[in-house]
Structure formats: structure tokens, C-alpha cells
Structure 1
Amino acid sequence: MRVEISQLLDLLPHRYPFLLVDRIEEIVDTDEIKEVTGYKNVTYNEPFFQGHFPDEPIMPGVLILEAMGQVGAILLKVQPEFSGKERKLVYLTSVDHAKFRKPVRPGDCLRTTARLKRRHGNVGKFEFVAKVDGETVAEAEMGFMIAPDLTLTAKAQ
């Protein structure tokens, strides 16, 4: 299953400049394996390159992790329980064993594979590997929670 940008906008709440997935290439959704592979085309026009770093543009590690998490969220958002009218979001709850192996630079195509490691109801954990040109640039495990909007309302004074 391939998911193009117009469908991504229906599945994720993120928008420019924080939408960090351009395309989902493949979703494997069987009883044994739940895995998704997505891409982020990294361009020099990304707003974070203005300050990170002007003379040596490198994608910040935290944004690589965010791109990974967004790819994983897509796998969850195509599950049947997300087809209803109630808005449910996928929230990051933990980052474990994160390793950054090589810098990600303008012109790179960041290819992330997310494999669902475990899920119990509305919580679970993914394993992620991000590659550029077949070489691992980052890897991590991340926990998640599925919940309705967590919008906080201001208390009346």
C-alpha cells in the first residue's frame, strides 16, 4: 500500500513546517508483522537549516526522531479503530536507545522503517531504522499512546 501526500494530510495532524513525511512506500499489516516504510525528502529550503547550521546544514536529531515517529503513526492511523468519527491522535511517550550514525543533509532522502514491536490497547512501542542511500543514519525505539485530543483549555480566573 502506497500513501501519497494528499492522503498523509488526512492521516496526520501535522502541517508545514512540521510535516516530516512526504510519502509512505509500503505498509505490511499482517498478524505476524506490522511495518511501514516512509520517506522524507530533505531540501535546503527546510526552515531549520537557517540556524542548524548555516555553514554546515545538518538535520537536527530531534527532527529525525520526529520524522520517524510520524512514519510510525501512519501505521497506527490505517488500523480499523481509526476509521470512526472520533478524532484520535498518536502521542510520543518515550524514546529509548536512540543512536545517530551519520548526519542527514540537504539532498538526502531519509527512508524510515517502523516496525511495531508491541501494542497493548492504546499504548505500545515501535522500533525504527532510518537510512540514506542504504546506510543507517539513525535508529531508536519509541513508545506511543493513542488518545483523543489532549487540548488543554484555559481555566477561567
Structure 2
Amino acid sequence: MLVNLEQVMSFLPHRDPFLFVDSVESIEVNGVQAKPGDNKDLKEVINSSITANYKTKKDHSIFKGHFPDYPILPGVVQVEMMAQCSSFMLMAFLENPFDTKLDVALLSIENAKFRKPIFPEMDLKVTAKCTKSRGPFMSFSCQIECNGELMSEASVMASVKIK
């Protein structure tokens, strides 16, 4: 594990019930493992990738309403999970990522596909690969898998600024 839940919470402003990253497993820059604080050159962000984890808890409040007799994780939450995962890409490009405050805004979602339902108690692997970067705007190709099966995918664009 590269980043634990406590570190996730020091980096992201999200909190339960809207925090959808439990840990970060890896960050790769140019095919090489990177770590938070490596202070890599931002020109290398294209094709960099990140892998994070999230376990859907059976007592999560979202399942009470979606749906009481057939609980599945809403697609909008899956997209949010992908966006949160993408934010951690910057950790390898900042000198002190846990002391840095980011202003991240989701700008667009394209080609979202929800291939299989996500149920409570699933261990999810969330991956994001940076496909474009221009100024504060970054695009990512994202996927959510469970036990090697593709559950959902989308392309997301975000504005990322250091406060």
C-alpha cells in the first residue's frame, strides 16, 4: 500500500459518506513506480497511471435508498470514485503532497459505461490514466474492476489548482 486511509483523508477534502478511496496502491510515471513527494516534472503526467482501492460497505447510507431491496452503487457515485482516484495522480508531482491543499473541480464526464452492478461488500480496484494535460485541466481514462472484471468506465476531465 502506497497511501493509507489516514493519508487519503489528509489529501482529499471528502469525508464519509462521500469519500470513495480507501487506499492508493500505486502511481506509475513513464512506466516506473513513483511515490508521493517525488516532485516529478509535470510534463511527464501524460500516460501516468494510478491504482486505488475501495470496499463498498454494506451499511453505507447510499444503499438504504438505492435500492432498499436490491442495493447497488449508483453510477454517479462510481464516477465520483473515479474522479477522486484521479486526484491522487498529482501526489508524485508535488514536493509535499500531504501539506498541499488542492482545488479540484470535475468539469466533464464522457463515455460513461456501467457494465455490471456494484453491490455491497465488493472490493473494487479503481484505475486512472492521464490522457491529456493543459494548464490546470487534466483528462483521465478511468475504470472500476472487481476480481478482474470490468464493472464501469468513463473519461473524466477536471480542473486542478494548488491553493
Give the 5 Å matches for 1:8-157: 8-30=8-30, 31=44, 33-80=47-94, 83=97, 87-147=101-161
**Structure 1 residue 10 displacement after superposition:** 1.3
Aligned length: 149
SS class of match (1:102): coil
Checking the alignment, whether the CA contact within 8 Å between 1:82 and 1:88 is kept in structure 2 is: no
**Structure 1 residue 87 displacement after superposition:** 3.0
Normalising by structure 1, we get a TM-score of 0.87
**Structure 1 residue 80 displacement after superposition:** 2.0
Residue number in structure 2 paired with 1:5: 5
Give aligned-pair identity as a percent: 34
Gaps of 5+ in 2: 31-43
Distance in structure 2 (CA, Å) of the matches to 1:84 and 1:37: 18
Runs of 4+, deviation exceeding 6 Å:
none
Gaps of 5+ in 1: 150-157
Change (3 A) 1:61 1:29: same
| More displaced 10-residue stretch of structure 1: 110-119 or 81-90 | 81-90
Higher Rg: 1
**Structure 1 residue 147 displacement after superposition:** 2.9
Checking the alignment, whether the CA contact within 8 Å between 2:126 and 2:145 is kept in structure 1 is: yes
**Structure 1 residue 107 displacement after superposition:** 1.3
